[in-house]
Amino acid sequence: MAGLYLHIPFCKQACYYCDFHFSVNTSIKADLVRAIIKELEMQAHYLAGEPLDTLYFGGGTPSLLTDDELNAILNAIGKRYSVSADPEITLEANPDDLTREKLAALAGAGINRLSIGVQSFDNHVLKFLNRAHTAIEAEQCIEAAHQAGISNLSIDIMFGLPNQHEFILQKDLAKALTLQPAHISVYSLTVEEKTVFGKWAQQGKLKITDEPEAAQQFEVVMDTLESNGFIQYEISNYAKPGFESRHNSSYWQRKKYLGIGPSAHSYNGNTRQFNVRNNYHYVQALNTGKIPYEIEQLTLANKINEYIFTSLRTNIGCSLAVLKRDYDYDLTALPGNPLLKMANQNLITLKADTVLLTRAGKLVADQLAMEFFASEK
Ligand code: SF4
């Protein structure tokens, strides 16, 4: 089973923190949808006939697609790809797009999971982030999605924002819980250089949340969601049992996926392909029958490090046996024995042959993973 990711690179307005690929100029949206359909046709061989178990419309803002555009893309997938009997079909959406009519159309098209970019239920926070929606729109669209029969709902919440006091986060989480999503993704703010926040930070105009405060907020998130029946199945992702994102989980399980659209990437176990991060160049290239991508051959060290980095973030953990079997890499033989060192510092636990992060370890997951990395020979 494999996954298909489709990148829809348009947004109504630029959120001040966002580093994803998108444009607020939608004048070539119809051309771009045609190019996506063309790329779907040209890449049909990529997964070597493996059925698609998950489809994921990400962005950008896929909820900006018209019903006809979405159906045209889904039809193209249906024509060229084999799809499993019970696929998970997710669409990322912003609350201001999710009217009752839109939700009915999405459900009618076969979308069975929505990932809604709420970020906060506080209007001051939303304005500060330059989000295009209000708190009440977020609340109402979630209720409307339930009524439209799309009960597999995920919402995104942010923490670690400048001037976001802990009580605002607590209120956001409490409101989220009353709306009964099956899945909540909770991300801390990362200030990226090329964003408005990045510029403000360089000019000293942005008060960055310090690490102890962000760590304290992360503890609040984990406590609140776990005590309300959510499983933290990945550091930033919490689900009610049975509602873990199949699509994202497949990335962490090293399954193959095909990425379509500008900036999308694809993975087949040995290579990673990166499409051009420019809407105009993407459309131009597809118009001449070419897919504009760069390809990276994954080295053994790349594969080992990707496995360590992603698996450690999940509640399945990093298996010493998988590392040995698939890559002949022995974590117990590393110089300085970081496994023992981290276990003694209560950052990891070892269950059978699996390394799992403790609460303290989750606060520094990326740094810990790097201590296990293989180097290029
Ligand atoms: S809507 Fe999403 S993709 Fe678009 S700018 Fe905001 S965060 Fe980025």
Return the pLDDT at 376: 83
Residue identified by tokens 């956001």 is: 172
Pocket of ligand 1 (CB under 6 A): 11, 14-15, 18, 20, 22, 59-61, 94, 117
| 263 in any annotated domain | no
CATH number of the domain where residue 243 is located: 3.20.20.70
In this structure, the answer to whether residues 16 and 148 fall within a common structural domain is yes
pLDDT tens-digit series, residues 110-132: 999 999 999 999 999 999 999 99
Of 195, 221, 252, at which residue does a domain stop? 252
Q: How far apart are CA 273 and CA 68, in angstroms?
A: 29
The mean pLDDT value for 45-60 works out to 96
142 near 116, Cβ under 8 Å? yes
> How many Å lie between the centroid of ligand 1 and the Cα of residue 15?
6
By most ligand atoms within 8 Å of CB, the mutation choice from 11, 161, 185 for ligand 1 is 11
Confidence of residue 163 (pLDDT cuts 50, 70, 90): confident
> How many Å lie between the centroid of ligand 1 and the Cα of residue 120?
14
Report the nearest atom of ligand 1 relative to the CA of 18: 8
In this structure, the answer to whether residues 238 and 343 fall within a common structural domain is no
Q: What is the pTM of this model?
A: 0.96
> Which residue range(s) make up the domain with 219?
2-252
> How many Å lie between the centroid of ligand 1 and the Cα of residue 240?
26
Report the nearest atom of ligand 1 relative to the CA of 92: 2
Positive or negative CA dihedral for 130, 93, 2, 354? positive
Nearest CA to ligand 1 atom 2: 60
Within the chain, residue ranges assigned H as helices are: 29-42, 67-80, 100-109, 123-129, 135-147, 166-178, 196-202, 211-226, 246-252, 279-287, 300-312, 320-327, 338-344, 359-362, 365-372
| 269 in any annotated domain | no
The mean pLDDT value for 358-377 works out to 94
Q: Domain tally for the chain?
A: 2
> How many Å lie between the centroid of ligand 1 and the Cα of residue 13?
8
| 129 in any annotated domain | yes
Q: How far apart are CA 318 and CA 307, in angstroms?
A: 8
In this structure, the answer to whether residues 228 and 331 fall within a common structural domain is no
In this structure, the answer to whether residues 227 and 368 fall within a common structural domain is no
pLDDT tens-digit series, residues 23-32: 999 999 999 9
> How many Å lie between the centroid of ligand 1 and the Cα of residue 325?
40
pLDDT tens-digit series, residues 311-361: 999 999 999 999 999 999 999 999 999 999 999 999 999 999 999 999 999
| 85 in any annotated domain | yes
CATH number of the domain where residue 332 is located: 1.10.10.920
Report the nearest atom of ligand 1 relative to the CA of 13: 5
Confidence of residue 79 (pLDDT cuts 50, 70, 90): very high
How big is the chain, counted in residues? 377
pLDDT tens-digit series, residues 210-246: 999 999 999 999 999 999 999 999 999 999 999 999 9
Report the nearest atom of ligand 1 relative to the CA of 60: 3
> How many Å lie between the centroid of ligand 1 and the Cα of residue 337?
42
Rg of the chain in Å (alpha carbons): 21
Of 236, 252, 268, at which residue does a domain stop? 252
Residue identified by tokens 């690929």 is: 21
> How many Å lie between the centroid of ligand 1 and the Cα of residue 86?
29
In this structure, the answer to whether residues 185 and 314 fall within a common structural domain is no
